Each structure stands twice: as C-alpha cells, then as structure tokens.
Amino acid sequence: DVKVTQSSRYLVKRTGEKVFLECVQDMDHENMFWYRQDPGLGLRLIYFSYDVKMKEKGDIPEGYSVSREKKERFSLILESASTNQTSMYLCASRSGRDYEQYFGPGTRLTVT
C-alpha cells in the first residue's frame, strides 16, 4: 500500500514564526503536492514538484515556499506565519504513470 505520512497532525504556531510541514512518501513517486483545505473552498493547490529539486507554483503560492531535496520528501515552509494561514494542509503524491493522487492524513495548523 502507498503510504504518505505528514510530520504532525496538529500544530499551533504564533504569528511571525517560521513553520515547516514535512511530508514523506514510500512509493518512489515522482510527483508530490501540497494543498490547503478550507470549509466551502475544497482543496486548493499551493505548490507541486515533479522531480527532486524541481517545484512549480500552484494556485495559491503566496506566503509559502517548498523544498524537495530527496525524492521521498516534500516540505512546505511558511516563512512568517499569519493568522490567515490557519488551515488544514494535505500532502499528496502521484506516480508519473498514473493519474490518482495518494493523500497523507493532513496537518491542522492554527496560527495565533
């Protein structure tokens, strides 16, 4: 079974802090994604990566950056957290030979 894990299920940070969200997948997938999920808005793509050290902006990249130093690991970085970044963050991965994305359990981030 494909397994996507995220470093924290719940996280509370203060405004202005630098926040790291880590995602690891164990299926050697080329593509990895970060989404945020907000009520009534569904999932919105923040960034994605189709290879090591490669990254592409999604629909809402402002205020975020990413890092992919190893194929299995994709990190989302909030350089200076703000209250409007309080949300559920979901990581996903996908093989280059398929269309299905596999999701991690999510990190619920609260910025106070």
Partner 1 sequence: AQSVTQLGSHVSVSEGALVLLRCNYSSSVPPYLFWYVQYPNQGLQLLLKYTTGATLVKGINGFEAEFKKSETSFHLTKPSAHMSDAAEYFCAVSGWMDSSYKLIFGSGTRLLVRP
Strands 65-70 and 10-13: unpaired
x/- string (CB under 8 A) for partner 1, residues 11-40?
--------------------x-x------x
Q: Which of 47, 51, 1, 9 is nearest to 26 (CA)?
A: 1
Residues in the chain: 112
Q: Which stretch binds partner 1 (CB under 8 A): 12-20, 66-74, 76-84, 104-112?
A: 104-112
Geometric angle at alpha carbon 109, from 29 and 72, rounded to 5°: 15
Distance (Å, whole) CA 62 – CA 105: 23
Shortest gap between Cβ of 16 and partner 1 (angstroms)? 28
Hey, which residues between 43 and 102 contact partner 1 (CB under 8 A)? 43-45, 48, 50, 56, 58, 90, 92, 94, 99-102
Distance (Å, whole) CA 88 – CA 76: 13
Residue from 17, 26, 27, 41 binding partner 1 (CB under 8 A): 41
Which residues of the chain form contacts with partner 1 (CB under 8 A)? 4, 9, 31, 33, 40-45, 48, 50, 56, 58, 90, 92, 94, 99-106, 108
